[in-house]
Amino acid sequence: MKNIATKIMLSLLIILCTNRLYSQYDTGYVARDINQMEQFNLYPSYDVYVQMMERFAANYPEICSLVEIGKSVENRRILAVKISDNVNEQEYNEPEFLYSSTIHGDELCGYNLMLRLIDHLLKNYNSDSYITQLINNVQIYINPLANPDGTYLGGNLFVTKSTRYNANGEDLNRSFPKITEPTTEPLQPEVQCMVDFAKQHYFSISANLHSGSEILNYPWDSFFAYEMPLPDNSWFIQICKKYVDTAHQIDAEYMISDIGPEGYVFGSEWYKIDGGRQDYMNYYHRCREITIELSNDYVLHPDYLDEYWNKNRQSLINLIGESLQGITGNVTNIYGESIPNAEIFVVDKDKTYSTVFTNEEGYYFRYLPTDSIYEIAAYSDGYQTANQVVKTEKDQLVTLNFMLQKGESIYPLPSDESNNDEEPVLTVSSLGGMLQLSSTKTINSVIMVATDGKIVTKFHPNTNKTEYSVNNCSQGIYVIKADCGGRIFTNKIFLSK
Ligand SMILES: [Zn+2]
């Protein structure tokens, strides 16, 4: 009798304790153990997330490596995996593609889908021919969680208490350097590390994953098309349409709404924002970024994760494949030495903000609608500008190399696109170790002088916008003298460390 009573007491105690334990995490939402993530039908706890990212790299060391982009305000890790053959090398002749999700901490669908995409790509290498082709020819970066403090606001075992904002209460997708007036204030840590990450790479296509709606959104977010024409409008429409059409093979209603009856929308036509990552990546890094709004629910119930994965899986894979459909090439001098930072123009199409640049080893990637003929110009200071004609082909990265001869360079765009009667305006700022100048007229020359009269640098940008690394400059006041459209500007700037 006494024994039975003890047993009952013990059982009660166990039930009570278990209940207590269960109330200390999001039952039915969060996996506390990596094995519970096997079916991807939960969200991971923060620790399980880190373990998963580490395990991807450990299990597939030949094609996957872990990258720490930075740390959040509360010191959580902002992680990405790189998936590619020769994963430990930077392969300049391969395009770099970036997926990033959940910059709004409570928009969770993409967080789960990105983990699942990583798993799917890795497991299908050498068995699925298309995925193998992507991994062999693209340097794929996937960052499932861009705002970990927002997601785990309620603690590392909770996602239902998540918030849109970071730990400083800032909306990170409004905190990137703006196109109109670049921020001079310090950036949020989650934004600063993403800015640094973008500067260390040459991403040519990227997507930022959100929730709250079901639609695709392409640039600009901060301008209407008539305010700043988007030369790549038809390319963006082409890739968005393909994404939606593919998803419609699973669910014909998905992404169709009043916002954009076709499933995609020009950002500012939906609503205008400043400081978003999409415009930042497009404008400053010439990376064609789109925004994917995956689910109407912010904290999507895990029961629906399978459904959303099935709707998006092939579209997400195909979007990476857009990296292999356009024009690529190497720009060299007559000795075959590569020319970095050469500017590539699509003649009669590009604006000063839509051209692309060659990377450190002289390679460029320019994405354009298929089955069309384009004239491409390669420009580099001190070389004769070269023009060639090329036809884009479906499912092909057409090669167009340039060999530039020494000589006088002619900038392929009219040196002054704006009204000649207007007075030129110059904006000077420094941000993240870069001195940035932008003007309504062509900036013909820039001289930067220290207070002791020594010239720090002297260069001829011949564009409306330019930047110069001031990382090696000591703290202090500098004078910037610039010729913009024939008018001389003198600005003083203070560089802090
Ligand atoms: Zn969002």
User: Do the domains 426-495 and 326-404 match in fold?
Assistant: yes
Ligand 1: centre distance to CA 165 (Å): 10
Stretch 282-292: mean pLDDT, rounded? Answer: 97
Ligand 1: centre distance to CA 147 (Å): 11
55 contacts 34 by C-beta, under 8 angstroms: yes
Single out the residue of 352, 331, 333 nearest to residue 461, CA to CA.
Answer: 352
Single out the residue of 17, 51, 18 nearest to residue 32, CA to CA.
Answer: 51
User: What pTM did the predictor assign?
Assistant: 0.81
Has residue 427 got a pLDDT over 60?
yes
Ligand 1: centre distance to CA 295 (Å): 10
Select the more confidently predicted residue: 467 or 13: 467
pLDDT band at 79 (very low <50, low <70, confident <90, very high): very high
Ligand 1: centre distance to CA 103 (Å): 7
Ligand 1: centre distance to CA 436 (Å): 29
276 contacts 221 by C-beta, under 8 angstroms: yes
% of the chain at pLDDT higher than 70? 92
| Angstrom distance (rounded) from CA 296 to CA 293 | 8
Ligand 1: centre distance to CA 100 (Å): 12
- The mean of the pLDDT values for the chain is 91
Ligand 1: centre distance to CA 40 (Å): 22
Ligand 1: centre distance to CA 299 (Å): 12
Third-level CATH fold of 426-495: Immunoglobulin-like (2.60.40)
pLDDT band at 402 (very low <50, low <70, confident <90, very high): very high
Ligand 1: centre distance to CA 269 (Å): 17
Per-residue model confidence (pLDDT) at position 487: 72
Third-level CATH fold of 30-324: Aminopeptidase (3.40.630)
Amino acid identity for residue 313 in this structure? R
What are 29's strand-pairing partners?
Answer: none
Q: Is 344 helix (H, G, I), strand (E, B) or coil?
A: strand
Per-residue model confidence (pLDDT) at position 234: 95
CA angle 491, 494, 497 (to 5 degrees): 150
Q: Worst-scoring range by mean pLDDT, 113-117, 138-142, 341-345, 458-462?
A: 458-462
Ligand 1: centre distance to CA 492 (Å): 38
Ligand 1: centre distance to CA 391 (Å): 37
| Angstrom distance (rounded) from CA 88 to CA 361 | 17
Ligand 1: centre distance to CA 211 (Å): 6
Angle, helix 46-59 to helix 109-123, in steps of 10 degrees: 20
Distance of CA 43 to the CA centre of its chain: 23
467 contacts 443 by C-beta, under 8 angstroms: no
268 contacts 279 by C-beta, under 8 angstroms: no
Name the CATH superfamily, with its identifier, for domain 326-404: Carboxypeptidase-like, regulatory domain (2.60.40.1120)
Query: Which tens digit of pLDDT belongs to each residue from 384-399?
Result: 999 999 999 999 999 9
| Angstrom distance (rounded) from CA 366 to CA 294 | 27
Query: Which tens digit of pLDDT belongs to each residue from 98-135?
Result: 999 999 999 999 999 999 999 999 999 999 999 999 99
Query: Which tens digit of pLDDT belongs to each residue from 320-355?
Result: 999 999 999 999 999 999 999 999 999 999 998 999
Where along the chain do its domains lie?
A: 30-324, 326-404, 426-495
Task: Output the CA–CA distances (angstroms, integers) from residue 350 to 193, 299, 380, 428, in the order listed.
Answer: 30, 40, 16, 24
pLDDT band at 6 (very low <50, low <70, confident <90, very high): low
Ligand 1: centre distance to CA 99 (Å): 14
